[in-house]
Structure 1
Amino acid sequence: MKDYLYKLATDQKNDWLAKSIKLDLRCASFVYGWLADCAKAVTKPTHLSRKVISVGNITWGGTGKTPLLEFLITVLKDRGIKPVVLTRGYKASKDLNGQNDETKLLKQAHPDVPVLAGSDRVANAVEYLKSNSCDVFLLDDGFQHWKLSRDLDIVVINAINPFGNRALIPRGILREPVRSLKRAGIIVLSKVDQANPAELENLIQEIRSSNPDSLIVKAVHRPVSFWDIKNRKDVPLQDLKGKEAVSFSSIGDPGSFLKLVLRLGVHLNDNISFLDHHLYIQGDIDRIDQMCKATNSPYLITTTKDAVKLPGVMSHFDKGLSVLALKVKLEILEKEEEFLKKILSVMNV
């Protein structure tokens, strides 16, 4: 059901039944928007005794928020600033020790940085400060989190598909109208290398019409290496050039992941995409194995976000398969110095 609703919201379904349901979803979107406005109006935000920087978006996933969080953590740590991440931990699983894929990925990348997961992020922050210290809280997915006051709002926008069909959830992928960008202090346009240049310029102009004062920066996800999940070692990108492979993922924007892999010269024979945050079971692995056998593909490529969910099912993969995760890092192409200056000014550095 969730998969079907997502395909309706992203207009992947357009038969007569889908068109009929979309009319009802349009009404539901109006109700969703009204309830969101009411929640914002009646909620009094809590002010913490530490700085708060929010990293969020205005759409239903796929913007590249987690790589930006990793980038921010590195920037702060390199300057002796101690961050703590506050996250809702959407779709946490007992198979991941009560974490979700993004939380586990952050902890693996920065094991020395506390990641506090839970629906009540205010309570988690207050409880943490009773016996611990930090310099700043990074509020993951916080743009619509009205309960917590913040010193800076950073919004990430997927430059390939910034606003979907411009309808609110559930008819579209927008969490808020585009005009809500007026609250953002920094707007990061991700995956700009995959966007049409003319459409990218139009997007910037549209953002400027809502928020003429925000800092707009362009960023890409730069491939670093492949991670051999079975043997726990890095594999150089060039080692996969010209090799036959199958890919799979459960992320918000699988299309951009596929383009990254293809740009590396990998011969992708097949691909399968699951819904964002999907938890893999043996049936999924069997299906992926069959795709590899049918296409004579000895390599299987996925994302690092998916890789953290695989240890419990790795034994189900064919032993002859090399299961690799593509490691990427966020790279700011323009105005990085201004970006860093704005971040550090919040910290009075």
Structure 2
Amino acid sequence: MVERDRLHMSSREFFENLEQYFLKLIMGRQRRSYTDYAMIGVMFFASRFYRMATQFRIWLYDKRIVRNRAIGCLVVSIGNLSCGGTGKTPVVEVFARTLSQKGRRVAILSRGYRSKKRTWREKIRQKFSSEKMEVPPKVVSDGEKLLLDSAYAGDEPYMLARNLKGVVVLVDKDRVKSGLYAIDEFETDTLILDDGFQYLRLKPHINIVLVDTTSPFGNHHVLPRGTLREPVKNIRRADYIFLTKSNGGNQLRHLKSFLRRHNHRAEIIECCHMPQYLEHAFQPDDKLELEHLKNLKVAAISAIANPLSFENFLEGFGAKLTLREHYADHHRYSETEIEIFAHQAKLSGARMIVTTEKDAVRIPASVKTELPIYFLRIKIDILSGQENFDQCISRICFLSD
């Protein structure tokens, strides 16, 4: 068992390092050798094929050669063009909470990125079972209580389920299946398709696309040469565009003009991610005001797509960062990693460890550290386009199924 865990850790570390290497190549942060330039060339040509395949798939759906499903329920898709880092989870949360408060019976459908899969024994048993029963989706929350931990649910579905009372959260790659399950088992009338812009099988009534104002489209290349999942021009499918992580300045004029050239009908809503307070990772009732960070020596640890924005928040509230540690996006921490970091943090003079909410759900609850671990609770503030947001909510609430 120990040997198997060690092999799992080493393979995970290898693939995370490989992912980091390719991200550095994409972002231009890698010192270029002949091998790097060759790899960039391979990635460029691969991205051309990926782009063609993506556009061909969309064309098949546009021409109704491949048909998407309408399942007799309102479907709101919230997604993005790029891979991670747009601040999607807080936006999904604010939509789910607002719609639930307006009287809609809401279910969030997630694919559960990097959640634990069934074991190979379970898969074989299911495959060769005489009872060909369809495996139901994972129920992270039935709207009343949490039913799965973050490892099996995935960090983002778990976060949403923990923060949203009265909202069902389901995880399955087949969102048509999980949508039908939500309707049959929980009588939901509104489905929020988390990370749904590329999920064309389920027909949305409203398409919401998020664009990170700090890095809107990376280097404008699609995978694997860039971070785009599909070409920028496909933002024309959006009904609403959320500009996230905005600072409220006038420098977004060019971005808005660029978006208007590709989509002249979508309403644009500008928002920012605002820290609310610090919350203890394992004691939900232990909350601290952000003023507590003033002149406090802090160690920051994170495994998100854009760790600098998180660290800038801490420094903006007066924290003095004595130690920083970055892991690959969605990295699941081991007890040893956290305990070593905590020891180094104490040696650096830190009085507290601070992480993100997504990271906090991936830290083992059994970990033992001398320093307390807190996470930064974030909420969405709409800076401009509040009337468009209200209109969007009203549109969803009064649409017939």
The 5 Å alignment of 1:1-349 reads 1-16=18-33, 17-42=35-60, 43-93=66-116, 96=150, 98-193=152-247, 197-198=250-251, 200-232=252-284, 233-315=286-368, 318-319=369-370, 321-348=371-398
Q: In 2, distance between residues paired with 1:259 and 1:98?
A: 31
Q: In 2, distance between residues paired with 1:314 and 1:282?
A: 5
Verify the 8 A CA contact 2:110 2:172 in the aligned structure 1: yes
Q: In 2, distance between residues paired with 1:313 and 1:177?
A: 44
Query: What is the Cα deviation at residue 135 of structure 1?
Result: 1.8
Query: What is the Cα deviation at residue 131 of structure 1?
Result: 3.2
Verify the 8 A CA contact 2:210 2:244 in the aligned structure 1: yes
Which secondary structure state, in structure 2, belongs to the residue aligned with residue 187 of structure 1?
strand
Q: In 2, distance between residues paired with 1:216 and 1:225?
A: 28
One-letter code aligned to 1:53: V
Verify the 8 A CA contact 1:10 1:173 in the aligned structure 2: no
One-letter code aligned to 1:174: L
Q: In 2, distance between residues paired with 1:122 and 1:116?
A: 12
Q: Deviations over 1:293-327 (max 9, x none)?
A: 33111211101111111234532xx22x0211000
One-letter code aligned to 1:5: F
Comparing 90-99 and 27-36, the one that deviates more: 90-99
Which secondary structure state, in structure 2, belongs to the residue aligned with residue 145 of structure 1?
coil
Q: In 1, distance between residues paired with 2:317 and 2:29?
A: 28
Which secondary structure state, in structure 2, belongs to the residue aligned with residue 189 of structure 1?
strand
Using structure 2 for the length normalisation, give the TM-score.
Answer: 0.82
Verify the 8 A CA contact 2:242 2:270 in the aligned structure 1: yes
Which secondary structure state, in structure 1, belongs to the residue aligned with residue 109 of structure 2?
strand
Stretches of structure 1 lacking an aligned partner (at least 5 in a row)? none
Q: In 1, distance between residues paired with 2:74 and 2:382?
A: 24
Query: What is the Cα deviation at residue 343 of structure 1?
Result: 2.8
Structure 1 residues 303 and 133: alpha-carbon distance in aligned structure 2, compared to 1, 3 A threshold: same
Verify the 8 A CA contact 1:219 1:330 in the aligned structure 2: yes
One-letter code aligned to 2:82: T
Q: In 2, distance between residues paired with 1:70 and 1:120?
A: 21
Which secondary structure state, in structure 1, belongs to the residue aligned with residue 376 of structure 2?
strand
Number of equivalenced pairs: 344
Q: In 2, distance between residues paired with 1:196 and 1:167?
A: 27
Which secondary structure state, in structure 1, belongs to the residue aligned with residue 67 of structure 2?
coil
**Structure 1 residue ranges, 4+ long, deviating more than 3 angstroms after superposition:** none
Q: In 2, distance between residues paired with 1:335 and 1:204?
A: 13
Q: In 1, distance between residues paired with 2:225 and 2:80?
A: 18
One-letter code aligned to 1:77: S
Verify the 8 A CA contact 1:281 1:313 in the aligned structure 2: no
Which secondary structure state, in structure 2, belongs to the residue aligned with residue 81 of structure 1?
coil
Using structure 1 for the length normalisation, give the TM-score.
Answer: 0.94
Query: What is the Cα deviation at residue 170 of structure 1?
Result: 0.8
Query: What is the Cα deviation at residue 72 of structure 1?
Result: 0.4
Verify the 8 A CA contact 2:293 2:314 in the aligned structure 1: no
Q: In 1, distance between residues paired with 2:20 and 2:116?
A: 19
One-letter code aligned to 1:228: H
Q: In 2, distance between residues paired with 1:312 and 1:160?
A: 33
Q: In 1, distance between residues paired with 2:266 and 2:107?
A: 25
Structure 1 residues 250 and 140: alpha-carbon distance in aligned structure 2, compared to 1, 3 A threshold: same
